């Protein structure tokens, strides 16, 4: 490349989120929705004495790109690391839902996501995770109708729950300066040790997460230079290509799954007892569970409220070929196996009655490992999200039953796309974006400080009662022995699941029930206000 070519480039990376959108749109067409002067800022940051931003770090705009009507959502990486909070995430989710509504009316608007984000904002933990599940749901619905294009330019990259969103996109455009992964290198080093991944070794980090290897390994579609014109051309060419034949998150054969050894009652492979495994056995009458795709993903059909239902649990697997996913984590194998498991149900019921799918949730985390990242654990989780979301949208009542830990990426992949979420109110049942110890290290707080904050700041709490106050839970089941359920405990829980199935069948097939609950109206005022105002500003102003 000569100097003239290099100097003629207009850097895309150096632009802030709003400038990025402006530079891509056709001149004079930029119209921002819920901009800085609407002052929709995070209600949770000032409570923690952290300065908020007037747009909460998310810029939503409508306009035209190459003559096409578009909605662009960009995350501002300079504000809180591009993290997703209740407001910024709701802006993205709602904008995507509004595009979906237009597309359903036959009015095609092209959605474009400029992703520059570390994932969930830990200061808004559970609400960040909840809105990311809503973003996933909207993308999973949209990709059937219009190509959803994602751009990761750098320098922050795209991590955490938002890497799963990237995995759900129809087309992904990256630069060499982009990074994409479920867990960032520092998090892996912290959780799994420096032998697993040395975050201070840039060559190693870029060889795993960088835009170039992601493109080489077919985890992204186009590698472009850091040039605004090149980014725009790649976006237009992605839209011109149209919907991919099989979207990446539905390419279920990507990870070969060896047929696992048969489960035996003594079960060396099965061996490890877990709460999830216990509840699977209890709710399916001790029936021998199947494990078609992985010894760590068990399922069984059993009667529920007068019909058959499919119960699915992720269980520890001491001999799993991936050492970072042997203790109940959702790793590559588990996530791809979940996707196949759920898809096998939707395929079998395609022309008949859609049986309920019950995700029994006891997942300690996603797997933290170099191998996991190299092979794209974010896409594996996206495949599971895609499968659950499509099961729900096609009319299967999908119920998540939290019997133990429901942590971050693992919960996004296994449970968070359910129509209804139930939880046992028992010790060690908890929902969160990161384990206490890890969150304490990342936010430079002690575990005790974190617990104190959780008492004051609802979405930061680890307790299931606080989680229930967010309005996301359909029901909290009290007085059940979670470790050793009695027969009457099991009956009560089965009844609660059957009620949730009936309720899900009566309601819409999206996740809107989480926002209409009495608790949500109280706690998620900001989410609701974002949706109300964004919908108001959505239609183009009439010409005078």
Partner 1 sequence: METLTFTYPAGPKVGRRAHVGVVGSGDLEVLFEPCDGNAAEVTVRTSVDGYGEVWKHVMDRFFSRYAGSVRVDINDFGATPGVVLLRLEQAAEASQS
Binding site residues, partner 1, CB under 8 A: 16, 35-37, 39, 46, 49-54, 76, 78-80
Other beta carbons less than 10 A from residue 273's beta carbon: 12
Beta bridge partners of 120: 84
For partner 1, the closer of residues 41 and 373 by Cβ is 41
Instruction: Check: CB of residue 95 under 8 Å from CB of residue 382.
Output: no
Q: How far is the CB of 405 from partner 1 (least distance, A)?
A: 33
Instruction: Provide the strand spans (E) within 372-441.
Output: 398-407, 420-424, 430-432
For partner 1, the closer of residues 76 and 102 by Cβ is 76
Instruction: Say which DSSP state 330 is in.
Output: B
Q: How far is the CB of 50 from partner 1 (least distance, A)?
A: 6
Instruction: Quote the CA–CA distance of 392 and 354 in Å, as a whole number.
Output: 10
For partner 1, the closer of residues 306 and 541 by Cβ is 541
Instruction: Say which DSSP state 179 is in.
Output: B
Q: How far is the CB of 526 from partner 1 (least distance, A)?
A: 17
For partner 1, the closer of residues 6 and 50 by Cβ is 50
Instruction: Quote the CA–CA distance of 353 and 278 in Å, as a whole number.
Output: 28
Q: In a 10 Å sphere around its CB, with 0-12 CB exposed, 13-18 middle and 19+ buried, how is residue 519 labelled?
A: middle
Q: How far is the CB of 45 from partner 1 (least distance, A)?
A: 9
For partner 1, the closer of residues 37 and 542 by Cβ is 37
Sequence-separated contacts (24+) of 96-102 with Cβ below 8 Å: 96/71, 96/135, 96/138, 96/139, 96/142, 97/138, 97/510, 98/71, 98/534, 98/535, 98/538, 99/71, 99/142, 99/146, 100/138, 100/141, 100/142, 100/145
For partner 1, the closer of residues 36 and 507 by Cβ is 36
417 SS3 class: coil
Residue (of 390, 389, 380, 383) closest to 416 by Cα position:
389
Q: How far is the CB of 139 from partner 1 (least distance, A)?
A: 26
Q: How far is the CB of 528 from partner 1 (least distance, A)?
A: 24
Instruction: Quote the CA–CA distance of 377 and 393 in Å, as a whole number.
Output: 24
Written as six digits, the tokens of 351 are: 């022309």
For partner 1, the closer of residues 13 and 222 by Cβ is 13
536 SS3 class: helix
Q: How far is the CB of 57 from partner 1 (least distance, A)?
A: 8
Q: How far is the CB of 184 from partner 1 (least distance, A)?
A: 18
Q: How far is the CB of 41 from partner 1 (least distance, A)?
A: 8
For partner 1, the closer of residues 35 and 395 by Cβ is 35
For partner 1, the closer of residues 46 and 202 by Cβ is 46
Tokens 């170039």 correspond to 212
């Amino acid at each position: 490349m000569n100097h003239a070519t290099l100097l003629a480039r207009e850097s895309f990376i150096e632009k802030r989120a709003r400038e990025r959108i402006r530079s891509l749109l056709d001149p004079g067409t930029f119209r921002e929705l819920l901009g800085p002067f609407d002052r929709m800022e995070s209600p949770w940051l000032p409570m923690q004495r952290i300065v908020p931003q007037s747009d909460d770090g998310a810029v939503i705009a409508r306009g035209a790109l190459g003559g096409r009507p578009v909605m662009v959502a960009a995350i501002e990486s300079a504000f809180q690391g591009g993290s997703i909070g209740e407001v910024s995430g709701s802006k993205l989710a709602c904008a995507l839902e509004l595009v979906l509504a237009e597309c359903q009316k036959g009015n095609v608007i092209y959605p474009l996501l400029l992703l520059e984000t570390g994932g969930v904002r830990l200061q808004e933990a559970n609400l960040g995770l909840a809105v990311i599940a809503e973003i996933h749901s909207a993308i999973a619905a949209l990709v059937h109708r219009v190509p959803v294009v994602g751009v990761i330019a750098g320098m922050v990259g795209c991590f955490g729950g938002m890497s799963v969103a990237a995995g759900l996109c129809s087309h992904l455009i990256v630069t060499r300066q982009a990074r994409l992964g479920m867990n960032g290198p520092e998090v892996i080093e912290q959780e799994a040790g420096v032998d697993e991944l040395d975050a201070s070794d840039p060559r190693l980090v870029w060889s795993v997460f960088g835009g170039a290897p992601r493109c080489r390994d077919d985890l992204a579609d186009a590698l472009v230079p850091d040039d605004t014109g090149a980014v725009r051309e790649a976006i237009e060419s992605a839209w011109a290509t149209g919907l991919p034949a099989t979207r990446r998150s539905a390419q279920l054969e990507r990870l070969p799954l060896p047929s696992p050894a048969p489960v035996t009652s003594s079960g060396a492979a099965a061996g490890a007892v877990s709460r999830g495994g216990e509840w699977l056995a209890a709710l399916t009458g001790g029936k021998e569970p199947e494990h078609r795709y992985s010894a760590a993903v068990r399922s069984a059909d059993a009667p529920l409220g007068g019909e058959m239902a499919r119960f699915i649990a992720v269980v520890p697997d001491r001999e799993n070929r991936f050492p970072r996913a042997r203790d109940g984590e959702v790793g590559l194998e588990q996530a791809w196996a979940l996707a196949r498991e759920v898809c096998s149900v939707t395929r079998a019921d395609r022309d008949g009655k859609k049986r309920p799918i019950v995700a029994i949730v006891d997942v300690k985390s996603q797997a933290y490992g170099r191998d996991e990242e190299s092979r794209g654990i974010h896409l594996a989780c996206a495949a599971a999200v895609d499968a659950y979301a499509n099961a729900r949208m096609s009319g299967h009542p999908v119920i998540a039953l939290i019997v133990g830990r429901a942590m971050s990426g693992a919960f996004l992949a296994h449970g968070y796309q359910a129509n209804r979420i139930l939880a046992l109110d028992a010790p060690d049942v908890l929902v969160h974006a990161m384990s206490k110890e890890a969150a304490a290290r990342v936010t430079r707080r002690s575990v005790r400080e974190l617990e104190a904050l959780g008492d004051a700041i609802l979405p930061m709490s680890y307790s299931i009662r606080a989680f229930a106050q967010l309005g996301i839970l359909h029901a909290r089941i009290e007085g059940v022995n979670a470790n050793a359920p009695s027969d009457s405990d099991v009956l009560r829980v089965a009844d609660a699941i059957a009620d949730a199935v009936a309720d899900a069948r009566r309601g819409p097939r999206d996740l809107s029930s989480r926002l209409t609950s009495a608790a949500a109206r109280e706690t998620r005022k900001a989410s609701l206000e974002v949706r109300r105002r964004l919908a108001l500003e959505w239609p183009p102003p009439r010409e005078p």
